[in-house]
Structure 1
Amino acid sequence: MSVKHLNQGQLAERWGVSEATLERWRSEGIGPVFLKLQGRVAYRVEDIEAYETESLRKSTSERVNAGGAL
C-alpha cells in the first residue's frame, strides 16, 4: 500500500494559507493530524481529505467543532 503525503508548503498551497498559519494551527491543535519525522512535518492525504470532509458546512450559522479551522 502506498500512502501519499504532503509537506507543509504543499498543504499551504492547497488551502491558500501561509505556512505560518499551518504552524500556528498545529501548535493550537487545529487542522488535520500530522507526522513529524526527524524534524519534518508531513500530512497524509487521507487525513487531509477526512479533515476537509469534516469541515464541510451547508450554512454559515452551523457551529464548527473544536479543531475545525477551514
Structure 2
Amino acid sequence: MDRAPIVVHRPLGTGGRRVTAGAQVLGLAHSDRDLVEFLRQAGIDETTAEDMVAGDSQLIEWRGGDAHRYAA
C-alpha cells in the first residue's frame, strides 16, 4: 500500500463509515476491528494496523464524527 493517508469518512445514516486510501475505497467499517482488517488487506501487517487504530495514528484521518464511533 502506498502511504496515502487513510480517511475514515463521516458515519452514514445507515451506520458504518466509508474508509479510503487516496482514491481507493477500502470498505465500509462498522467497528475498529473492520478498520484493522481493511488496513491488513491493503498491505499493512496486522500488529501495525492494530497499533495504528488504537494509537490514533497520524496516518488515519477521522472526518465528520468522533474517532472510533461508527453509528450515525
TM superposition score normalised by structure 2: 0.35
Structure whose residues are more often strand by fraction = 2
Larger relative contact order (CA 8 Å, sep ≥ 6): 2
